[in-house]
Amino acid sequence: MPRAKIVDKKPRGRMSAYAFFVQKCREEHKKLHPEENVVFSEFSRKCAEKWKTMGEEDKHKFTDMAQNDKVRFDNEMANYDGPRPTRSRKGKQKKDPNAPKRALFASFTFLG
């Protein structure tokens, strides 16, 4: 009988300002081009170029979003107790040195 998986409700990690920016770029791109398949390397390269050319005023919105997400993450981690403790398995039993030895296979008695 297979064992049930343990579901761990660990809080989702915090996102950086750049991650929020890429998420917004992706949503905008999907609205403009819903049928187009996106090549991740090209898309991330374009987003990185946009991020580098953006001014601090434009980035400020994303840094605020990142700060709010950091506060959310810290609050969730304060309430998080960790994964449920699992039962430990029994260790390997030690072999009795006085126990009788097993019988040999038929092929070993023929060859040996």
Residue predicted with more confidence, 35 or 8: 35
Q: Is residue 20 part of a domain?
A: yes
The amino acid at 2: P
Q: Is residue 43 part of a domain?
A: yes
> What tokens appear for 79 in the block?
């309430």
The amino acid at 7: V
**47 with 25: CB under 8 angstroms?**
yes
pLDDT digits (tens, 9 = 90+) for 56-110: 999 999 999 999 999 999 999 998 887 777 777 778 888 889 998 888 777 776 6
State the total domains in the chain.
Answer: 1
**44 with 19: CB under 8 angstroms?**
no
Q: Is residue 105 part of a domain?
A: no
Q: Is residue 91 part of a domain?
A: no
The structure's pTM equals 0.65
Question: Domain of 48?
Answer: 13-81
> What tokens appear for 25 in the block?
């770029």
